């Protein structure tokens, strides 16, 4: 799976949230200052070329929708982060985030309880 730029990821986050949208609807969800229509249209075409997005014709325009699930992209990105920065060790990655976020034992116990519920 290809990596996304920050701008591409921002558009994908909105498409995952909206499930389907035209360019104007995507822009409407973006913070001010709003990007130009042509900018978002170009990003959408790039996302189609990367096979993250597809479209269907509706009236005179197009409706765009994600063809890659958010969970799949998140998993791939997390694995890349773990491999590139933590020598492929999940333990090293979690340890880093625990230390950087100043988590205490209660926080860790709560995470473990939530993980046990999902099993």
pLDDT tens per residue across span 63-100: 999 999 999 999 999 899 999 999 998 888 888 888 88
CA distance 53 to 96: 34
- What's the topology of domain 6-66? Arc Repressor Mutant, subunit A (1.10.10)
Handedness of CA 2, 14, 5, 102 (dihedral sign): negative
Are the beta carbons of 48 and 66 closer than 8 angstroms? no
Is the pLDDT reported for residue 118 higher than 80? no
The pLDDT of 8-15, averaged and rounded, is: 97
Q: Residue 3's pLDDT band (boundaries 50, 70, 90)?
A: confident
Question: What is the C-alpha separation between 27 and 110, in angstroms, rounded?
Answer: 38
How far, in Å, CA of 115 to CA of 109, rounded? 10
ω into 33 cis (within 30 of 0): yes
Helices 70-85, 6-18: axis angle to 10 degrees equals: 150
Q: How confident is the model at residue 57 (pLDDT cuts 50, 70, 90)?
A: very high
Instruction: Read off the pLDDT of each residue in 31-58 and give the average, rounded to a whole number.
Output: 97
Rounded distance, CA 3 to CA 67, Å? Answer: 15
**Model pLDDT, residue 7:** 96
Domain ranges, ordered by start, for the chain: 6-66, 88-119
Token pair 């900018």: residue: 39
């Amino acid at each position: 799976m290809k990596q996304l730029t920050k701008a591409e990821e921002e558009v994908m986050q909105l498409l995952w949230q909206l499930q389907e949208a035209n360019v104007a609807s995507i822009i409407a969800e973006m913070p001010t200052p709003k990007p130009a229509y042509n900018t978002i249209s170009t990003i959408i075409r790039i996302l189609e070329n990367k096979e993250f997005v597809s479209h269907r014709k509706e009236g005179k325009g197009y409706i765009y929708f994600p063809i890659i699930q958010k969970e799949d992209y998140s998993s791939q990105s997390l694995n890349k982060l773990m491999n590139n920065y933590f020598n492929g060790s999940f333990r090293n990655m979690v340890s880093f985030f625990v230390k950087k976020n100043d988590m205490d034992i209660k926080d860790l116990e709560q995470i473990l309880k939530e993980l046990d519920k999902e099993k």
